[in-house]
Chain A
């Protein structure tokens, strides 16, 4: 029975990256003629799993069965030939070639050894007609909208592969009308018996189109459910990792509440980025920020740090107006920011641990007043010891360190500037459990010293553990603030789900 309905099944897939286990024994199965949503926060392992299925990565363990036969694709090309086609958010077609050339690249019809353009164009036209697309196939791909390009990419993938279609956030840059068009096509392909894996972070779309949902978190399978049997609230709980146990917020009263308000943001925001919000942060307080992916968490951090300039509102500290127009001025106001993707935004891989730690302090002092080498050495040694950064010596290039130690080094970078206000975006993402606990201990220590912190995390238990208040975001707006004994994982999930329900109504 299982064999007849299941077109693709993966069992116990492992994928290990240096310093992190990206997939840990994940099972996944896809039926013929179903749309299967694959969900999870950033770093949950969705894209790693997809890449293992499409051959972009080699898995480190587990089996993949396609139509009941073991497969081990070494490349996306091989996966394609086996029958697994993928369409990415960024359209992976060539904008400089014509539509027909894109559809038939590498398999152009030939006559007398030469490409028969007329035949190719005719076939391209016929192929797209199946998707209700009547366009000039001899025009360059770049002449068409992303939605049309997306359909062309799907047409190519289905024509090439024809068993499994993976849609990786295909709707991210489409408007509602275009999404509807795409979904019509997906439903038709489903009726043809294709297995479709649909990755997105728009939950409405998941409920609109999918038959089953698989949720991953931290590289582990949380569960697979039929969409109809999974209320939105339970889905959010699965994604954010809550088994909905009632928690007692006993110690929350002690954590910084009642202290004087130090930072005051009023009507702070930027159009199209994050809706204006009010925010007070007390001395020695940790304010947590929760919300689903794409809800405006990182945008909030960026605007507070001046990485995106606010176009409305004011910010003051102790009654004095702050200049947060750029990261440089934010640093001058004693702000610090550890960004979400440390590989891209945080570390400079080829510089040593010492240089990475000294970077922000040097930037604040200006290049005219270099930090002496001995001072840098002292600084680095101090923080390596204080934060227990595991490195053989301070001159080691930082890219050779594990994720947790890189994270601590970035933290050290900002601590060296002795900030009053520190923003941590996903400080525990992608690091192992031991380092997790140390980072959390550090956060608690810092606020004990009177620093004000904003921590963004999709790990709700963590947020609950150190935050005195939690701001809940949805659709790029601050929708709720949880205080005191409202700060429980349950409370956060409720708040996200409640506001989600409201938006749908």
Chain B
């Protein structure tokens, strides 16, 4: 098998084995309800993680997404509370702001040759701070349109529901896969992850691609914020702290190389589902602390980093003997 598919295969295998273990213990977990909830509960994280996958594939990192999600939530709540504009208009405004915010970070990273870590860390503080400026309270969103959106779902056989936001996440993943593998922009993202200097020599538009990547991540963080506000029907500036780290974890568990250049969007979906599955198992168990999620995720991360290191080692050796 082509070694590039190995991490993805490992992720899928881990998910299937973990799911089998869960079902063996709690047969109820094998239901479309559980699957539907898995998608709904992790929709905002999944959407943001698609953006994060692009960023990490290019060799960068985006620490701002958790703060951008919170900002979007507060922005929508304040706007819908203080004015009478339609939520759809508010959504468009929020997406425009977050996309521009991402593009600005990308432009700084490219033109000032700053490390993405620092720039997006600054972006994280800025977005979180802006959320606090808008409001320090948790503001409920009571617009009737929200209720309409929340009640929209597709009923699966067995009583499970694919909600609007769960479906939206799947759609985002599908579009993400299309962009990554079937467009020149996607190819350029992988090229950047392979080495910026070489990519430049090969004629990849570095600046445009970098800005595009962070704009995409900003857009998806904004979309994730909208989904999160639908999910919680509120906006709170202290929400989604550390979500960027969960997203990074999902990306890495999904088999994407943290140094960039190798990985798949689809892997990130499985990474999200593994995280959700652990969470669901703990809910079913009822006696375990929810911190076990973090502990297991931590262990999985370690295992995947080791797997990646091992793979790189094996590929290097193979080439030397070729």
Q: Which residues of A contact B (CB under 8 A)?
A: 76-77, 80, 92-97, 101-102, 105-106, 108, 114-115, 117, 139-140, 142-145
Contacts and interface: CB of A to CB of B under 8 A. Distances in A.
A143 B193 contact: no
Interface string B49-81: 000000000000000000000000000000000
Interface string B176-196: 001001111011101101110
A327 B193 CA distance: 37
Contacts of A77: 201, 203
Contacts of A140: 2, 4
A105 B322 contact: no
B232 interface: no
B202 interface: yes
Nearest to B315: A142
Contacts of B36: none
Given A95-B194, A96-B193, A142-B315, A105 B262 contact: no
B182 A142 contact: no
B318 interface: yes
A291 B318 CA distance: 36
A96 B202 contact: no
Given A77-B203, A96-B193, A106-B202, A115 B319 contact: no
B194 A97 contact: yes
Contacts, number: 67
Given A144-B319, A145-B322, A94 B183 contact: no
Interface in B1-16: 2, 4
B168 interface: no
Contacts of B182: 114-115, 117
A92 B187 contact: no
A95 B262 CA distance: 10
Interface in B191-239: 191, 193-195, 198-199, 201-204
Interface in B139-191: 178, 181-184, 186-188, 190-191
A142 B322 CA distance: 11
Given A97-B191, A139-B2, A140-B4, A145 B198 contact: no
A410 B96 CA distance: 56
Contacts of B183: 114-115
A106 B190 contact: no
Q: In which size bucket is the chain B interface?
A: 20 to 34
Contacts of B46: none
Nearest to B318: A143
A355 to B, nearest CB: 27
B178 A105 contact: no
Interface string B26-47: 0000000000000000000000
10 nearest A-B residue pairs (beta carbon): A94-B194, A96-B261, A114-B182, A96-B194, A145-B322, A77-B203, A106-B203, A115-B182, A92-B201, A96-B262
A143 B319 contact: yes
A105 B187 contact: yes
Contacts of A101: 187, 190
Given A77-B203, A115-B182, A143 B315 contact: yes
A146 to B, nearest CB: 8
A139 B261 CA distance: 14
B319 A108 contact: no
A94 B203 contact: no
Question: Which interface residue of B195, B203, B204 has the most chain A CB atoms within 10 A?
Answer: B203
B195 A94 contact: yes
Nearest to A153: B202
Contacts of A115: 181-184, 186-187
A35 B188 CA distance: 34
A53 to B, nearest CB: 15
30 contacts: A76-B201, A77-B201, A77-B203, A92-B201, A92-B202, A94-B194, A94-B195, A94-B199, A95-B194, A96-B194, A96-B262, A97-B194, A101-B190, A105-B188, A105-B202, A106-B188, A106-B203, A106-B204, A108-B184, A114-B178, A114-B183, A117-B181, A117-B182, A139-B2, A140-B2, A142-B319, A143-B315, A143-B318, A143-B319, A144-B319
Given A96-B261, A114-B178, A145 B319 contact: yes
Contacts of A93: 198, 202
B111 to A, nearest CB: 17
B267 to A, nearest CB: 15
Nearest to A76: B201
